[in-house]
Structure 1
Amino acid sequence: MKRYLPFALLAALALTACTGKDDAASTDAPAATDTAVSEEQLMKDAAAAAAAGNDPNAVVADPAVAEAGAAPTPPLATADGPVPGLKLGVDYQLVQNGQPFEPLNGKIEVVEMFNFVCPACASFQPLIGNWKKTLPADVRFTYVPAAFGGNWDQYVRAFYASQTMGIAEKAHEKVYDAIHLEGKLKGERGEDSDAEIAAFYSQFGVDAKAFAGNMKSFAVTGKYNKAKQYFAAQSIGATPSTPTIFINGKYRVLGRSAEDRLRVADALIAFERAQASGAAAPATP
């Protein structure tokens, strides 16, 4: 089934973002001074979770990340100067000590931090889903699910379970549909059990019991921990929110609308390509 959201809903969600289970939509503006969710509290929560050794979702915070989070500084221009045609703080932010999610290996990395429970992510998916199909061969697009706690974290595990079982691509948009259009899964409206989520994913050719077990497997837990730590590190100096696009881990895309985010992402990709080749970056409109 093709996904179409009502125009009014798309317009309303164009500049919104999800910041957590109890705050599904908030303004996605430059957030260097927004203290709704401080990085200090974020790292305290991560450390508390790690201390609970029986918690399958526990993740140990990187000491370097914790140290950086203790004294955040505003994003500054790079030594090479701002990106031509883009305005720092309006079109993009620099990520403090930002790193790519995976080794670049000659690629330009685009990461979308998302969560299936997030309504803003659901509205953004048709745009970014079509856009990523147009990316050139030197660009690697990666979905990284954000763990905000509660049912959101189950969907992080579900995403990685589907990835390890080879059904992530064909299931991706269908999960959004099930939550936000069809009501087959509760998402932000309630708590979906592992069994309910697994039963939904079984339509893509996997055994529901095996899928539910895989959600708590060692492999999925490792991927969950990596995604959670990446989100914490990349959110220092800004309120954690979804959907958020990162380019090479160095740039957090802002933009004035959902469509404008993709314009900014294209410009940052071109800038990174030019930087790698030593050529002058093309000016953006």
Structure 2
Amino acid sequence: MLRRLSLLWVLAALLPLAAAAQAPAEGTDYVVIADGQRWQPEPGTIEVVEIFAYPCGHCDRFQPMLAAWARTAGDDVRVHYLPAAYDPGNAYARAYFALEALGRVVELHPRLFDAIHREGSLPARGASRAEVASFLAGEGLDAARVAAAMDAPATDEKMNAAREFAMRSGLQGTPTLIINGKYRVQGRSLGDSLRIAEGLIAMERAVPR
């Protein structure tokens, strides 16, 4: 009897591991994007794009999880953040692209989440470009350079491209992960999204190049 119970306990312990090892299921875990295209094609790499919004509470919780995951995802994986830029005037989306242009994403991308969700130094909705530029100036950037980058033609182009990418991907909410421009992850939780992403990355690694 004890031996039988021990066996049952072992099987119960292995079930979650077996589930985690299962390949992602199309239609349940992910959707195939028709005519999908990568955001920033780079030969020999697998692209993971997170479409996010700074005011989004789920995106705020996901940010440190994704950053930690990215550090162990593999040398062939490239993680890109992409603001949901449906409104061409969205100050937060423009601020992200300004940070890219100024080479300050790594340290200041998390700070924008902090300012909105923990400090209240930036509003969750309706933030102006001047407000965001002023905040970033307080983080050590030159306000004039931030404002110029937010208003630059290159940022206009990225805003348009980001909107097209989101629409082509069938974005339904944030945060959403897109793998190699081909798959839209449908996780039931933030952790589940990363599990599915890992499975899709494994699938892409198995594709002959």
Pairwise TM-score range, normalised by the shorter structure: 0.7 to 0.9
**Structure 1 residues 231-253: Cα deviation after superposition (integer angstroms, max 9, x where no partner):** 11111xxx531100011011111
| SS across alignment from 2:138 | helix
What's the RMSD between the two structures over aligned residues?
A: 1.6
User: 99, 122, 129: which is aligned to 2:37?
Assistant: 99
**Counterpart in 2 of 1:209?**
144
Structure 2 vs 1, CA of residues 163 and 230 (structure 1 numbering), >3 Å: closer, same or farther? same
State the percentage of identical aligned residues. 41
Residue type of the partner of 1:216?
Answer: D
Structure 2 vs 1, CA of residues 149 and 223 (structure 1 numbering), >3 Å: closer, same or farther? closer
Whole-Å Cα distance in 2 between the matches of residues 276 and 115 of structure 1?
A: 35
Q: How many residues matched?
A: 188
Kept in 1: contact 2:48–2:77 (CA 8 A): yes
> Deviation of residue 204 (structure 1)?
3.5
Residue type of the partner of 1:231?
Answer: A
1:184 is the counterpart of 2:121: yes
**Structure 1 residues 152-207: Cα deviation after superposition (integer angstroms, max 9, x where no partner):** x211110001110111111011100100111000023xx22211100111133321
Residue type of the partner of 2:98?
Answer: A
TM-score, length-normalised on structure 1?
0.63
Structure 1 residue ranges, 4+ long, deviating more than 6 angstroms after superposition? none
Residue type of the partner of 1:128?
Answer: L
| SS across alignment from 1:137 | coil
> Deviation of residue 150 (structure 1)?
7.6
Which structure has the greater CA radius of gyration?
2
Kept in 1: contact 2:88–2:160 (CA 8 A): no
TM-score, length-normalised on structure 2?
0.84
How does 1:89-168 map onto structure 2 within 5 Å?
Answer: 89-149=27-87, 153-168=90-105
| SS across alignment from 1:112 | strand
Residue type of the partner of 1:240?
Answer: Q
- Which 5+ residue runs of structure 2 have no aligned equivalent? 1-21
**Counterpart in 2 of 1:63?**
none
| SS across alignment from 1:275 | coil
Whole-Å Cα distance in 1 between the matches of residues 145 and 75 of structure 2?
A: 35
Kept in 1: contact 2:48–2:177 (CA 8 A): yes
Kept in 2: contact 1:117–1:179 (CA 8 A): yes
> Deviation of residue 108 (structure 1)?
0.5
| SS across alignment from 1:215 | helix
**Counterpart in 2 of 1:255?**
187
Kept in 1: contact 2:31–2:184 (CA 8 A): yes
Kept in 2: contact 1:110–1:140 (CA 8 A): yes
**Structure 1 residues 207-229: Cα deviation after superposition (integer angstroms, max 9, x where no partner):** 11221122111121122121111
